[in-house]
Every structure is written in structure tokens, then in C-alpha cells.
Structure 1
Amino acid sequence: MKNNLPAALVALLVATSAGATTVRVHYDAGKGSIAILGDKGPMTWSKGAPAKAGSGHVWTYSWPDELGEITMKPALGEKVSIGGTYRIAAGSSVDIYPFFGPPFGKVTIVAGVESPQLKNSRSLRIFLPASYQENLAKRYRVLYMQDGQNLFDAKTAAYGVEWAIDETVNRLVAIGAMDEVIVVGIDNTPDRIPEYTPCCDPKHGGGKLDAYEAFVVDTVKPMIDKRLRTLPGKEATAIMGSSLGGIASVLIAQHRPDVFSKAGGVSSSFWWNERTLVTKAAARVPVKFYLDAGTSGDGLEDTLLMRDAMLAQGYRAGADLLFDSAEGGKHNEASWAARVEKPLTWFFPWGSTSY
């Protein structure tokens, strides 16, 4: 049943209540103002309750805990914030960093990033989310991805097909399926196989993964945290890749759970070195892992074995280990683009960012 208490009564209840639920909206509204749309009290979905302006472009609105959980969205004049609604539990104080402009992020390229660990250089392809230039108070979780050339642009992708990470993130944010994130695509080099692998496969060699891990953790991440408005802690940091980049991402997260809280291995090459990653599965660490493989020549059997080995180490299906068998999925960018929303929405569901 709807609760349409008059605004004056709500204000009285807030003043006399043992507790008040509060939302703080961080946004520079310029000459405008922020209102709160919602499903209870004086808030409706057609007419918002005015929030109170404070210092630092923070707009505050409170209501009595007695109203229970409220679903709400901020509005700037007639513009409603982009993305999903926010469910505010009774008694909580929640910070929200909305945006109201077009839901399109932007990819920039940082060329010539030197790696002292690997004695080479490469480009970083950085996706900045739609709100990055609009809401300067906001900070972001970060997803680091391997094979950066293949993520955003078909012209640079190895086989002329991109993952379309930018378009996918834009769409998922716009419909309220995931929170905004910065995506850092790390280009591969002619040393891709050794850089993404531990030592040593009888046929392919390998063995530079430790140095590559140090490059990501000690060079790339500090640079990104210094240059961009990131949330630098482990809970806000994820890593993901495909094929050899998948095993690199899984192993790096297993080695550095102090840096990464989430890792995705898409069509990962768990066949590497006679399945050593499976037969000598690492002990459980406090990281959420996403594993998948397609059903069409994509190493599904190896990935199933890795999933089972991780479950045997204490991972919990659906809690800190999510596995997906992609019907008809192949070992290529088109298949990865078609299912990448699964790890994205599992890692970064709407409203899950802690500030």
C-alpha cells in the first residue's frame, strides 16, 4: 500500500524519530537543485522532495526509519539520473554519485608505457565511464583487462572483431544492471605467450608471468591510481582476460589477493603445461572468480576440471566462484563479446560500489 504522508508530517516524524534514514547526493548542480523521487512519504515518481544543499556540493535528504526501505532516484530539475533505482534500507546513510547526461563513456589511449620489469613498452586503452567528466566528486572501481587491442576497436583487434567492452558497459549502466567502472585495457606485445604464462609448457615455453604480474601491480596500477579518480583498494579492483590472458588473470589474482578481489578467466587456457594449474590448484584465497568456456571447441573440459579443483579447495559455487557454460560459444572475440556482461554484472552489480 502506498504511503503518502504529507511533507510536514514527515518532517515532524524525522525530527522526533529515534533514527532517520539519510541519502547524500554528491553532485555539482550549478544553479539548479537536487530533488529526491521515490515510492514513499512526500516522495513520488512524478514529484520529488527537495534535498538540502550543503558544503562540497552535497545534497542531503532524510526521512524517518519508520517508513522502512525506500526505492528512490535523484533528479536535477526535470532530468532523472541515469541508471537504476537505489534501494535505501531503513536506518542507513547512503552516498550517491549520480549523473544526468548521455550514458556514453570514452576510450583514451596512453601510449609508450614503459615496463622496467619486462624491458619493453606498450599502450594502455582506458575506458572512462559516462559520468567521469560530469560528476567530479565521483571515484570509480577499476577493471584491468589483458589484450587491450581487442577490447574497444575492431580496427586494432587481432581478428577484426572487438569485445565491445565500452558499448556493453554503457548499455548495462544505462539500464541499471551494473555500476560504472573504469576499464584499463593493457595491450599485449610480441611476447604475449611468455608474458601471460608461468613456466613452462613443453611445446610453448613461457615463464614471464611473474614479471608481467609485477608490471601490472607495481607499474600500471599505481599510475592509474595517480592519474585517475579511482577507488584504489582491493575490494574495488578486478582483473580479467581470455585464453592465455584468462590464466594470467586467474593466477595474478591468486598470487595477489591483497590487490584484487575479483578475477575473470574467459575461455581460459587451463590446458597449459599438461593442466598443471588444475592438478596443482592453488589454495583458496579471498577473491571472487568467474570462469567460463563455450561448448564449441573452447576447452570446456579443461575449464570444468579447473572449476571442480577450485571447489575442492573450498570455493563456493555462486558465492566466490561463478561458472558459465556458453552454449555454442567459440574461442573468439565475438563469443566473448556476447557473454561478457555475465562477469561484468556479477562483479559490479548496480548499487554495489562502496565509497
Structure 2
Amino acid sequence: MKRRMYTAAAAMLLALTAQQAGATTVRIHYPAGKEDIRVIGDKGPMTWSKGVPAQRPEGPVNVWTYTWPDELGAVQMKPTLGEDKVSIGGAYRLAPGSTVDIYPFFGAPFGKLAIVKDFASPQLNNKRALRIWLPPSYAENPAKRYPVLYMHDGQNLFDAKTAAFGVEWGIDETMNRLIAMGTAEEVIVVGIDNTPDRIPEYTPCCDPKYGGGKLDAYGAFIVDTVKPYVDRTYRTLPGKENTAIMGSSLGGIASVAIAQRYPETFSKAGGVSSSFWWNKGALIAKVPARLPVKFYLDAGTVDDGLDDTTKMLEAMRAKGYRENEDLMFFKADGGRHNEASWAARVEKPLTWFFPWGSTKQ
């Protein structure tokens, strides 16, 4: 009991000292109810085994605060709910002098899938399902908003029963794992189902063998119909810095081309095993000037279009894209053109696009 009183007194003294000098503050947004929020960390009165109490919110807003002097330097910390429940995910790193808002959760690290059936496309005059994966904290912490990743071939992303070849990407399982490990941020994933017009919708005009040519309408469908629906229905961060698009095969070239056309909407685009052979490599030959978009490209070494993807990589380098800054390439040794191979490496674009601690509310 005496130790608890001493810890609380030390925390109050530290807060008063910080108010008089330069201060670093964490603002913890969480509806704790009858519990309290504490802070564990690597400096000051905080330790990784014993938390110090944050300041309880005043009024109806569920924002807990804790402050320490800048002299402590950079601090790593995590909130706890009561004395025992440590927040899920990685530690938060606060630079001296900063004020940082965090939105933790303490429950099981498993997201949930919602399916919107018969979602209409006025641009394409058809309907399809949207499969919307909501991250683990979505129901638990209503103050939090999320980046959004739009993906094609939605049937193949979350459930082997609906996947075209009985194998899913396992996006939900991968996201759950990366979030629990503190490797990636929580993200809403919107899977857009394909239709019998998959080839035309995912391609620009026109391949001598396969035709195509509805990509402009499909891109407009995502930007003008799907995204506005998602932004008004769910707690998203709608700005381009928090919006990404990704797909595989024809969906890979669709993602690259859509981001090239809408750089004001997407800041990240992933082309997994992309079909850059389309129309005799027209996308490679017509790479536009460097755009403010991060592009991820990959290919496997077994019948997966590695040569064409390498040509696209070289064309983008020639336009000024820089590796690991706004261009990432991964060669998957033994990788094939299938969902199992894509599932095995999808964490690479996910962690590059949305690394832990990168999202600002």
C-alpha cells in the first residue's frame, strides 16, 4: 500500500515538474469505464513491470493524459487498463517535447469481416459484394479511425470457401498477427469482389488476344462510389496518406494504373505478381513521370512474370523512383502465380505501407 502511494506521489511530482519545464505528453484515448489507465515504460517513474497512473479525464471525453519532462529524452511506453491488461501491439515511442495521441485496445487481437452484398456500380452497370475487414479495436475503441487498403478479387482474400481455387490470401490472419506483434498498424481492408467481367475491368485497352479496356470505369467505381461509401459508413482516415490499393496478377496492373491515374486519392499501391505483359508491355513503355505514390512490386521465380516485372522496375527507376523510399521490389524465390505464394509474402507490402506507429489521427 505504501509503495502504491509513493508511486502515485512520484507521478504527480513528475507531472508538476514537467509543467514547469519542457514537457512530453501522451494522450490516451480509451473508454476505460470504472477501470483506470496506467502507463508503463522505460524511463522515469515508469518501468515495464509497474505502471504509473495517467490523469483521469475531465468530463465526458475519454482522454487520459500523462506528462514527463523533456530531460528524459525519447521514451518508449505502453498503456495498461488497470494494473494487469497491457495494450495489444507494439510500444509507442515519444520524442522529447512531443504531444502524442494514441488509441489502444486491450481485447483479443482478432478483426471481424462484414459483407455488403449487391453493391451497385453505376460506372459498370453491375453489382458485386464488398468484403470489409474491420480491425481488432474497431468495436472496442470508438474514438479510433483507420487507414484503408482497397484490394481486388475480394472472394479470394479471406475465405477458402469463396476463393477461386480453394486457397485464400489469409489477409485477416496475417493482419491479426502483424497487429498483435506490433509490426503493422490496424487497417480497414476493403475486398472488392470480381465479376464475370474481371479481365476487362482490371485492364486498359487493348490486348491483341484478350481485349480488355474497362479499367477507367473500374477505377472510377472505386474512387467515386466505393471509397465514398466506405468513408461515410466506417471510421476511416480518408486522406490520401492513409489510403492504399493492392492486387495480384491483372489486379496488380489495375492497382498500379489506378494509383497512377489518381495520385490525389492513393499514396500507396501494391502490384503482386503483376501482369505487366499485358498489351505487349504497354504499361512498361508508358510509365508516367514520378508521382507522390509509394509502389510495391514483386514476382516469384517460377512462371510468374519476373522478367516483365523487372523491366517495369527499371522503367520506374528511370523516372526517378528510389528503392525503399517510394519503390520496393521483392523477388520471391520459388514463388508461383497463385494465392498460396501471395499469402506467404503479403506481409511485406503491409508492413511497408503501414508500419507500426506510422498513423496519425
Q: TM-score range by the shorter chain?
A: over 0.9
CA–CA distance in 2 between the matches of 1:321 and 1:12? 46
Partner of 2:209: 203
Task: Report the counterpart of residue 81 of structure 1 in structure 2.
Answer: 87
Matching residue's letter, 2:185: D
Residues of 1 paired with 2:351 and 2:139: CA distance?
23
**Given the two structures, how large is their TM-score scaled by the length of structure 2?**
0.96
Name the counterpart of 2:4. none
Corresponding residue SS for 1:201: coil
- Alignment counterpart, residue 42 of structure 2, candidates 39, 44, 48: 39
What root-mean-square deviation, in Å, do the aligned CA atoms of Structure 1 and Structure 2 show?
1.2
Per the TM alignment, residue 10 of structure 1 is displaced from its structure 2 partner at its CA by: 2.2
1:69 maps to which of 74, 80, 89: 74
Aligned counterparts of 1:263 and 1:42: Cα–Cα separation in 2: 43
The runs of 5 or more residues in structure 1 that have no matched partner are: none
User: TM-score, normalized by length of structure 1?
Assistant: 0.97
The correspondence of residues 1-355 of structure 1 with structure 2, limited to 5 A, is 6-7=10-11, 9-17=13-21, 19-54=22-57, 55=59, 56-77=61-82, 78-355=84-361
Counterpart residue identity of residue 38, structure 2: A
1:197-235 deviation per Cα after TM superposition (whole angstroms, max 9, x unaligned):
000000000000000001000000000001000000000
Give the percent of matched residue pairs that are identical in Structure 1 and Structure 2. Answer: 72
Q: Secondary structure at the match of 1:53?
A: coil
The one-letter amino acid of 1:181's match is: V
Q: Which runs of 4+ in 1 moved over 2 A?
A: 4-13
Which amino acid in 2 is paired with 1:319?
E
Per-residue CA deviation, residues 36-74 of structure 1 (Å, 9 max, x unaligned), is: 100111111111111112241000111001110000000
SS at match of 1:122: strand
**DSSP 3-state at the match of 1:277:** helix
Q: Is contact 2:14–2:67 with CA below 8 Å preserved after alignment?
A: no
Q: 2:128 corresponds to which letter in structure 1?
A: R
Paired residue total? 351
Q: CA deviation at 1:279?
A: 1.3
Quote how far apart the aligned CAs of 1:16 are: 2.1
Q: Which moved more, 1:219-228 or 1:51-60?
A: 51-60
1:127-158: CA deviations, max 9, x gaps?
A: 00000000000000000000000000000001
Instruction: Quote the offset at 1:8 in angstroms.
Output: 5.6
Contact 2:116 2:129 in 1 (8 A): yes
Q: Distance in 2 between matches of 1:302 and 1:53?
A: 58
Distance 1:313 1:113 in 2: 38
State the AA in 2 paired with 1:30: G
